[in-house]
Amino acid sequence: MATESTKLSMAQALNHALRDAMADDEAVYVFGEDVGPLGGVFRITDGLTAEFGENRCFDTPLAESGIVGMAVGMAMNGMRPVVEMQFDAFAYPAFEQIVSHVAKTRNRTRGRVGLPMVIRVPYAGGIGGVEHHCDSSEAYYAHTPGLTVVTPSTPADAYFLLREAIASDDPVVFMEPKKLYWGKDEVDLSVPEPPIGRAVVRRPGTDATLIAYGPSVPTALEAAEAAAQEGRSLQVVDARSLVPFDDATVCEAVRSTGRAVVVAEASGYASVASEIVARVTERCFHSLAAPVRRVTGFDIPFPPPKLEHFQLPGVDRILDAVDDLQWEDQ
Amino acid sequence: MADDRGLLPSEQPVRLLDETGSPVAGAALPFPAKERLLAAYASLVIGRRVNDQAGALVRQGRLAVYPSSHGQEACQTGAALALAEGDWLFPTYRDTAAVIARGVDPVEVLTLLKGDWHAGYDPYTHRVAPQATPLATQMLHAVGVAHAARLRGEDTVVMALCGDGATSEGDFHEALNFAAVFRTPVVFFVQNNEYAISVPLARQSAAPSLAHKGVGYGVNAERVDGNDTPAVLAVLDRAVAAAREGGGPQLVEAHTYRMQAHTNADDASRYRGKEEVDPWEARDPLLRMEAYLKRKRLLTKARRAEITERAEAVATAMREGVSKDVDPDPAELFAHVFSTPTPQMDEQAAFLADELSREGD
CATH code assigned at A61: 3.40.50.970
* Chain B residues interacting with chain A (CB cutoff of 8 angstroms): 64-65, 112-118, 133-135, 165-166, 168-171, 196-199, 203-205, 265-266, 270-271, 327-328, 330, 332-334, 337, 344-345, 348, 352, 355
The CB-based long-range contact list for A36-42 (8 Å cut-off, 24+ gap) reads A36/B198, A36/B199, A37/B198, A37/B270, A37/B271, A38/B197, A38/B198, A38/B270, A38/B271, A39/B270, A40/A84, A40/A86, A41/A86, A41/B197, A41/B265, A41/B266, A42/A11, A42/A122, A42/A176, A42/A178, A42/A181
CATH number at residue A213: 3.40.50.920
Strands (E), chain A: 6-9, 28-32, 57-59, 80-84, 118-123, 148-150, 172-177, 184-187, 200-203, 208-212, 234-238, 241-243, 260-267, 293-297
Structurally, chain B folds into a number of domains equal to 2
Tell me, yes or no, whether A49 and A119 share the same domain.
Answer: yes
Using one digit for the tens of pLDDT, what is the confidence trace for A67-126? 999 999 999 999 999 999 999 999 999 999 999 999 999 999 999 999 999 999 999 999
Whether residue B169 and residue A62 make contact (CB cut-off 8 A), yes or no, is yes
Catalytic site residue from A101, A132, A133, A309? A133
Using one digit for the tens of pLDDT, what is the confidence trace for A298-311? 999 999 999 999 99
Using one digit for the tens of pLDDT, what is the confidence trace for A114-164? 999 999 999 999 999 999 999 999 999 999 999 999 999 999 999 999 999
Using one digit for the tens of pLDDT, what is the confidence trace for B54-68? 999 999 999 999 999
Of A124, A154, A187, the residue at which a domain comes to its end is A187
Whether residue A37 and residue B196 make contact (CB cut-off 8 A), yes or no, is no
Instruction: Please tell me the predicted confidence (pLDDT) of residue B2.
Output: 41
Instruction: Please tell me the predicted confidence (pLDDT) of residue A329.
Output: 61
Tell me, yes or no, whether A167 and A226 share the same domain.
Answer: no
DSSP SS3 for B224: strand
Tell me, yes or no, whether B189 and B207 share the same domain.
Answer: yes
Distance separating alpha carbons of residues B147 and B151, to the nearest angstrom: 6
Whether residue A62 and residue B204 make contact (CB cut-off 8 A), yes or no, is yes
Tell me, yes or no, whether B339 and B286 share the same domain.
Answer: no
Could you tell me which of A180, A175, A173 has the C-alpha nearest to residue A154? A180
In a domain? residue A192: no
In terms of Cβ atoms closer than 10 Å to its own Cβ (0-12, 13-18, 19+), residue B18 is: middle
Whether the CB-CB separation of A240 and A151 falls below 8 Å is answered with: yes
Which range marks the domain in which residue B80 is found?
34-327
Tell me, yes or no, whether A44 and A180 share the same domain.
Answer: yes
Could you tell me which of A153, A77, A72 has the C-alpha nearest to residue A117? A72
Could you tell me which of A320, A325, A301 has the C-alpha nearest to residue A311? A301
Structurally, chain A folds into a number of domains equal to 2
Instruction: Please tell me the predicted confidence (pLDDT) of residue B360.
Output: 67
Check pLDDT > 70 for residue B334: yes
How large is the ipTM?
Answer: 0.93
In a domain? residue B239: yes
Using one digit for the tens of pLDDT, what is the confidence trace for A218-253? 999 999 999 999 999 999 999 999 999 999 999 999
CATH number at residue B133: 3.40.50.970
Angle between helices B229-244 and B73-81 (to 10 degrees): 30
Which of B134, B170, B198 is the closest to A38 by Cβ?
Answer: B198
Check pLDDT > 90 for residue A328: no
Instruction: Please tell me the predicted confidence (pLDDT) of residue B6.
Output: 77
Tell me, yes or no, whether A25 and A78 share the same domain.
Answer: yes
Instruction: Please tell me the predicted confidence (pLDDT) of residue B3.
Output: 57
Tell me, yes or no, whether B209 and B79 share the same domain.
Answer: yes
A153-177 average pLDDT score: 98
Check pLDDT > 50 for residue B1: no
Tell me, yes or no, whether A253 and A300 share the same domain.
Answer: yes
Using one digit for the tens of pLDDT, what is the confidence trace for B3-15? 567 789 999 999 9
Residues of A in contact with B347 (CB under 8 A): none
Whether residue A62 and residue B168 make contact (CB cut-off 8 A), yes or no, is yes
A175-196 average pLDDT score: 94
In a domain? residue A193: no
pTM, full prediction: 0.95
DSSP state of A43: -
Active site residue A133: yes
Which range marks the domain in which residue A315 is found?
200-329
